[in-house]
Amino acid sequence: MNKKKHGLAPILSDVSVVLILGSMPGEESLRKQEYYGYPRNQFWRIISQIQECTIPEKYSDKEKMLFNGNIALWDVIGSCIREGSLDSNIREEKPNAVIGLIDRLPGLLAVFFNGKKAFDSFNREFGYQLLEDRKLEWHILPSTSPANTMAYDDKYSEWRRIKKILRSAM
């Protein structure tokens, strides 16, 4: 049975300097209508460590943490067919208007991809050269999904790049 999924709206402010792009929210995130809503996903733990604060309990406070940190968040894929939550099950993907969002953020310095699937989808649809043409730094970070069994400290050491960009913008 085909299960068409539709993503979530972006979280951003006009002063965002970092954009994090995921692939497509998993089942629990879509059910809750919250980014990284699956409790074992390490995204919010990593972002709170970057922001040097505790992980907020309420989703609205997690969104505020992104706003206050000048971090924008969205997904490359706007809709797709997928059984379950695994990126490897994504088919018939349709992109979000990521380039339009990038162009709306005049202070944007860097784009970070939460996992290789997010980058591959972006590159196939838009081409990474587009980021270089706009003089944006970009990095593929290890996925925060529990399906990625890399040790947390190793993931965080890669994700710390975001902190350097945020500090350079101060």
Q: Tell me how far apart the alpha carbons of residues 65 and 81 are, in angstroms, rounded to a whole number.
A: 31
Active site residues: 41
Answer left, alpha or beta for residue 135, where phi above 0 means left and psi between -120 and 50 means alpha: left
3-class DSSP state for residue 111? Answer: strand
Smallest Cα–Cα separation from 102: which of 76, 64, 140, 69?
Answer: 76
Q: How far is CA 154 from the centre of its chain?
A: 18
Distance CA 139, CA 158 (A): 9
